[in-house]
Amino acid sequence: AKEKGRNRYQFYSSTITSKAFLLIKLENWLHQAIKKNEFTLHYQPQVNILTGEITGVEALLRWYHSEMGQVPPTQLITLAEQTDLIIPVSQWVLRTACLQHVAWLKAGLKDFPITVNLSPRQFQQPNLVSMIKKTLEETGLDPHYLEIEITETSIIHDEKFAAQAFHELRSLGVSISLDDFGTGYSSLSYLQKFPFHTLKIDQTFVQALQNLPQDTAILSAMIMLGRSFNLRVVAEGVETLQQLEILEKLNCKEVQGFLFSRPLKTEDATQLLLQHCIR
């Protein structure tokens, strides 16, 4: 029995070591990525269903690593959160998105916001608001053009802190969007407690649409709820015309999804925006 125990211990210990080792390796790569500028942002438009006009753009992080290839953003963010590199990575994202939007506005782009995702860890940084303020000042982006997107996980951790951050961001002129609405546990109470500007209905609800009454019932309730709080409601993950038609019937005004456009690299996004959205 003793022998067995020792073996088991060795087994765990070597797993932990290799995990730690992998983490160190990844951390190194991530450091390099920041230095070598291996990140890019892709941009996905949000569209008004009735008019076809673009009403916003979401910035989405991309990392291409020479050995690993394209690293999925969710994995990249998880990794960055584990290694504290989330702070420089997020700063890079915010700064790049702001600079890009300034360039688009200079080129004559219509008035609509750029949306940047904040990770839960980043949202808990004590200097979050001052970092955002500084970035806005340095890039010259008018705060009214910035919308930050958070999930409720960001709020759960410390509601008091969140309330304070919300208040400060709103007084700067920055809007806040609740991402992945419907997937968490506290969304309903958060709608009442926090001054959101936009509600993003999670793509699982859109993709579950099979034309059964109960599928539309949930979506319909979420859309009505958002509208009754006077929020901009955006349905995510719209891939088919059928989904679009149902959303339109349910009085959803804005959508984001592959049906209109995949997230586009900068040059393609610029081309799309400058073709369709000049003042």
Contacts with Ca ion by CB under 5 A lie at 117, 149, 179-180, 236
Residues in region 34-73 near ligand C2E by CB under 6 A: 44, 60-61, 72-73
Q: Are 36 and 29 in contact (CB under 8 A)?
A: no
Q: How many residues bind ligand C2E (CB under 6 A)?
A: 21
**Does 114 help bind ligand C2E (rule: CB under 6 A)?**
no
**Does 147 help bind ligand C2E (rule: CB under 6 A)?**
no
**Does 128 help bind ligand C2E (rule: CB under 6 A)?**
no
Residue placing its CB nearer to Ca ion in the complex, 109 or 234: 234
**Does 226 help bind ligand C2E (rule: CB under 6 A)?**
no
| One residue of 189, 258, 265, 271 binding ligand C2E per CB under 6 A | 258
Task: Give the start-end residues of each E strand in the chain.
Answer: 39-48, 54-65, 69-71, 114-117, 146-150, 175-181, 198-201, 232-236, 254-256, 264-265
**Does 93 help bind ligand C2E (rule: CB under 6 A)?**
yes
**Does 119 help bind ligand C2E (rule: CB under 6 A)?**
yes
Q: Are 255 and 244 in contact (CB under 8 A)?
A: yes
| One residue of 257, 269, 273, 277 binding ligand C2E per CB under 6 A | 257
Inter-CA distances, 220 with 38, 189, 256, Å:
41, 18, 17
Distance of CA 145 to the CA centre of its chain: 16
Cα distance from N-terminal residue to C-terminal residue, the chain? 77
Positions that interact with ligand C2E (CB under 6 A)? 44, 60-61, 72-74, 77, 93, 117-119, 179-180, 203, 237-239, 256-258, 263
